[in-house]
Amino acid sequence: MHAAALAVRRQPGTVSGIDAPLAPAVRRRRAFIILASLGIGYVASQFYRSFMAVITPELMRELDLSAEITGALSGTFFFVFALAQIPVGMALDRFGGRLVNAALLTVAVAGALLFALADGAAGLMAARALMGIGVAGSLIGAYVVLGRWYAPDRFATVGSVLVSVGMVGTVLATSPFAALVGWIGWRGSFVIAAAVTAGLALLVLAVVRDAPPGHGFHARRRESLGEALSGLGEVLRNPNLPYLFVLQLFLYSSMMTIMGLWGGPYLNDVHGLAPGPRGDVLFAMATAILVGNLCYGPADRFFDTRKGIVLSGGWCTVALFAVLAAVPGLALWQAASLLTAIGIVSAFMSTLHAHGRAIFPDRLVGRGMTVLNMAVVLGTAIAQTVSGWIIGAFADGTGPVPEIAYRLMFGYLGAALACALIVYSRVPDVRPSQDQAGRRG
């Protein structure tokens, strides 16, 4: 192997790319620091996908945006995010999560600055597109790295910690962001967001290492473009992929359509809440998601099933959406309780990601996970766009949107998730005990 090629694969802080393995205690400590850093970096992704719910009513008034345009504006982030997944996955398998995530976050910085300067729908959509590209590798890049630092049967637990730390971004996009917007305005708030994101990019670059010393990642042969595309073909031919892909389309999107877009307008139009109080309800929902993630994390090892955990949480989520759709005139405390409960019971994404991770070999994990993540963000883009059509069909621009519009939206989200769960129920389970034994073998 040429010296120059080996040098490219060396990670800062190591003597060579193929150093001897770390002592167990040292490895655990470094893995935890890397997990914390990646989780903090993931904060940006959660914030940028969630903030619209808090400022949507103000944006619609100030820039004269229709409900359809607002839904498309939020959906733009997810459509672009989805389109970026395949090239991001190829880059992750070739260059590693550290460099890819740090570089992409600088694009998110540009998006935040453009959002602060935008004076209409076109500028806002361009900014949302840059944000989508900028955080397109935050979650899967972290999963790729952490999958090399932690044992396979710990993946769901580690993933739940990662997502829970990242959920701080969702929490920050509720009451704290509403308070900041009330203090300095939404434009100034995005200048601050850009500065914070730049700091996160530097953190990832400085702290994260793609794999422990001695790991095969450091001695891997770089794939050619043809080999990379061939590997993508292997991923797409995986017989279990379609079942997981369909559920990824409709799980996260059902929650994020409420948390990231229409939760604020629903609380404003139906329950008459001002920005501060509606931010408080969304804060409670975001906190519930964080708590739910932590509870679901070790559940797959405790019950030794991933599929069972996913189906249980999924059908509970469908039931809650059914109540929101079927019952008219809910009191504020009832609606807030149902939204908070959805946050808790739907927070099993890390378990579903662990199921997805288990069906791919390590050399294809970047491409495999980004294909599944493409479903997550594409589904969210579709759900937010369709929900915009539903709400827009009842909005006349002269007053609050009627409750029936939101009830139909809740019904659509619940029905779509129910259909996806039926499809997912056909996939074989990959139990944590089987996964760990298989990787050792």
DSSP 96: -
Looking at residue 241, what is its pLDDT?
Answer: 94
Domains and CATH numbers, the chain: 25-212+232-426 (1.20.1250.20)
First and final C-alpha spacing in the chain: 29
Largest pairwise CA distance in the chain? 71
Looking at residue 159, what is its pLDDT?
Answer: 84
Looking at residue 238, what is its pLDDT?
Answer: 93
Tell me the C-alpha distance between 114 and 105, whole Å: 14
pLDDT by residue for the chain (441 residues), tens digit each? 444 444 444 444 443 444 566 677 787 888 889 999 999 999 999 899 888 877 887 788 888 888 778 877 877 887 888 889 889 988 888 888 899 999 999 999 999 999 999 888 889 999 999 999 999 999 889 988 988 888 877 887 888 889 888 888 888 888 888 889 889 988 999 999 999 999 999 999 999 988 787 666 666 667 677 777 888 899 999 999 999 999 999 998 998 899 878 888 899 999 998 877 888 888 898 889 888 988 898 888 889 999 999 999 999 999 999 999 999 999 999 999 999 999 999 999 889 988 988 888 877 888 888 889 888 878 887 888 899 899 988 887 778 889 999 999 999 999 999 999 999 999 999 888 876 555 544
pTM of the model: 0.74
Buried b (16+ CB within 10 A) or exposed e, 264-278: bbbbbbbbebebebb
Listed residue (278, 412, 397, 276) closest to 335, CA to CA: 278
Please name the amino acid found at residue 164. Answer: S
* Dihedral over Cα of 282, 112, 38, 211: its sign: positive
Looking at residue 14, what is its pLDDT?
Answer: 44
At 358 the three-state DSSP class reads coil
* Dihedral over Cα of 379, 103, 36, 441: its sign: positive
Tell me the C-alpha distance between 420 and 401, whole Å: 29
DSSP 425: T
Tell me the C-alpha distance between 34 and 42, whole Å: 12
Neighbours of 436 (CB within 10 A): 17
Q: What is the token pair recorded at 391? A: 């709400």
Looking at residue 227, what is its pLDDT?
Answer: 76
